[in-house]
Amino acid sequence: MSDSRMLRQLKFVLELDKLKQVMRRNYVCGGSRRENSAEHSWETALTVLLLAEHSDVPIDPLRAAKMMLVHDIVEIDAGDTFIYDAQGRTEQQLRETRAADRIFSMLPEDQAREFRDLWDEFEAESTPESRFAKAVDRLMPMLHNYDTRGKSWREHDLDRGRVLQVNSKIGDASTTLWDYAKSVIEKASEEGLLRKD
Amino acid sequence: MSDSRMLRQLKFVLELDKLKQVMRRNYVCGGSRRENSAEHSWETALTVLLLAEHSDVPIDPLRAAKMMLVHDIVEIDAGDTFIYDAQGRTEQQLRETRAADRIFSMLPEDQAREFRDLWDEFEAESTPESRFAKAVDRLMPMLHNYDTRGKSWREHDLDRGRVLQVNSKIGDASTTLWDYAKSVIEKASEEGLLRKD
């Protein structure tokens, strides 16, 4: 095992630190500050492990958790794109692909390939694991929004229909979680945390 | 699958959010702010995956990464204990055990057991995975310290001997990583980032 292999790995690990400075639009519970993408990745990885049984089809929970650990690394260069920002999302794919090219290539070739494949799979939503990971990636900010009395929803003047539409991806992976998510969105709408459509 | 099972899981997941407010003694790279235990857990989980090949004995990387995701959850109640704080560490075990009793019992019984067993294993350092996880838990703050010109070391007036002693745990899991860690500590000492002993 060459020293340079280990040094490349450690350089990459320190590069990851930058994800702690990427701020998302949603808030931590309680609403005291915005959430960063590193802590969001931790939370969603654990959530995937705990909720895996609710996937409509069987998934490998650890594989999906690994995907969650990796899914936002590209934001180190590309920044966070708000899921309700249609224009930002058009350019997002290009920015994130460039970021993936640069960041993952810092790793030794075998690990670069492994991480890139995992991120590509997440983006393509081509497997049960990636669909479940995407569902949890939607579910958590939605629950944080409800917890903070719709703080981020209200800041972006979102209505019930738009929130239902964007979060419907949850239903691609889990009928149970989507039923629950819909009930939270309806409650939020009734409580005035979301604009009526 | 009962609704109440899912609701318990989701309540636990929102409880996890509190770990984002637990601040550690070390800083993020660049030194702009302290690191919180949630983002530290994310970083160390990925590091374990990437460095697993450097374990002196073969380990299951995903199992070790899962352990890293879980290892600091008890800090939600018990707070972070600085690894160089001998007095704090005496009481730490009691505080953390109480925390584990409360927090993990929020989960359905099977998952409570699974997470508690994983945390107990980490604490006991009884397996190759837990020893490697402990090693990475030491390695990362050490690298952050060097990256920030010894910011946290200097704040706590630490000397070379103490830092070598506390980090020697890295050597219980990986000769390669410990050799590298020692070289960083010696360099830090020569550069005046650590007090000479």
- Do the Cβ atoms of A25 and B26 come closer than 8 Å? no
pTM: 0.96
DSSP letters, chain B, are --HHHHHHHHHHHHHHGGGGG-EEEEEPTTSSSEEEHHHHHHHHHHHHHHHGGGSSS---HHHHHHHHHHTTTTHHHH----TT-HHHHHHHHHHHHHHHHHHHTTS-HHHHHHHHHHHHHHHHT-SHHHHHHHHHHHHHHHHHHHHTTTHHHHHTT-BHHHHHHHHTTHHHH-HHHHHHHHHHHHHHHHTTSSB--
Average pLDDT, chain B: 95
Q: Which tokens hold the place of A21?
A: 């400075």
Q: What residue in A sits closest to B112 (Cα-Cα)?
A: A50
Residue A131, pLDDT above cutoff 60: yes
Q: Which residues pair with B159 in a beta bridge?
A: B195
Share of chain B above pLDDT 70, in %: 98
> Which of the four pLDDT bands, split at 50, 70 and 90, describes residue B192?
very high
The arithmetic mean of pLDDT across residues B52-79, rounded, is 97
CA distance B85 to B168: 16
Neighbours of A154 (CB within 10 A): 15
Which of B1, B21, B47 comes nearest A176 by C-beta?
Answer: B1
Q: Testing the interface with B: which of A21, A46, A62, A116 to mutate, by most B Cβ within 10 A?
A: A46
> Which of the four pLDDT bands, split at 50, 70 and 90, describes residue A3?
low
Q: Strands of chain B (E only): list them.
A: 23-27, 34-36
CA distance B159 to A9: 28
Is B6–A54 a contact, with Cβ atoms under 8 angstroms apart?
yes
Report residue B161: phi and psi, to 5°: -65, -45
pLDDT score at B89? 78
How many interchain CB pairs under 8 A, A with B? 126
Largest Cα–Cα distance of chain A, in whole Å?
Answer: 61
Residue B21, pLDDT above cutoff 70: yes
Largest Cα–Cα distance of chain B, in whole Å?
Answer: 61
**pLDDT tens for residues A7-34?**
999 999 999 999 999 999 999 999 999 9
Q: What does DSSP assign to residue A28? A: P
CA distance A44 to A98: 24
Q: What residue in B sits closest to A32 (Cα-Cα)?
A: B21
pLDDT score at A38? 98
Secondary structure (3-state) at A166: helix
Is A50–B180 a contact, with Cβ atoms under 8 angstroms apart?
no
Q: Strands of chain A (E only): list them.
A: 23-27, 34-36
The CA–CA distances, whole Å, from B100 to A21, B71, B103, B110 equal 30, 10, 5, 15
Residue type present at position A152:
S
What is the ipTM score, two decimals? 0.96
Q: Which residues on B lie below 8 Å from A12 (Cβ)?
A: 50
CA distance A184 to A171: 14
Q: What does DSSP assign to residue A108? A: -
Is A46–B16 a contact, with Cβ atoms under 8 angstroms apart?
yes
Q: Which tokens hold the place of B90?
A: 């005496």
Task: Give every CB contact of residue B138 below 8 A, 6+ residues apart in sequence.
Answer: B83, B166, B167, B169, B170, B181
Sign of CA dihedral A114, A120, A126, A131: positive
Residue A87, pLDDT above cutoff 80: no
CA distance A133 to A131: 5
C-alpha neighbours within 13 Å on the C-beta side of residue B3: 5
**pLDDT tens for residues A135-157?**
999 999 999 999 999 999 999 99
Is B13–A47 a contact, with Cβ atoms under 8 angstroms apart?
yes
- Do the Cβ atoms of A62 and B64 come closer than 8 Å? no
Q: Which residues on A lie below 8 Å from B39 (Cβ)?
A: 19-20, 36, 38-39, 42
- Do the Cβ atoms of A58 and A174 come closer than 8 Å? no
Residue bearing tokens 């530290």: B40
Secondary structure (3-state) at A26: strand
pLDDT score at B3? 63
**pLDDT tens for residues B143-166?**
999 999 999 999 999 999 999 999
> Which of the four pLDDT bands, split at 50, 70 and 90, describes residue B85?
confident
The arithmetic mean of pLDDT across residues A181-196, rounded, is 95
pLDDT score at A2? 56
The arithmetic mean of pLDDT across residues A154-170, rounded, is 95
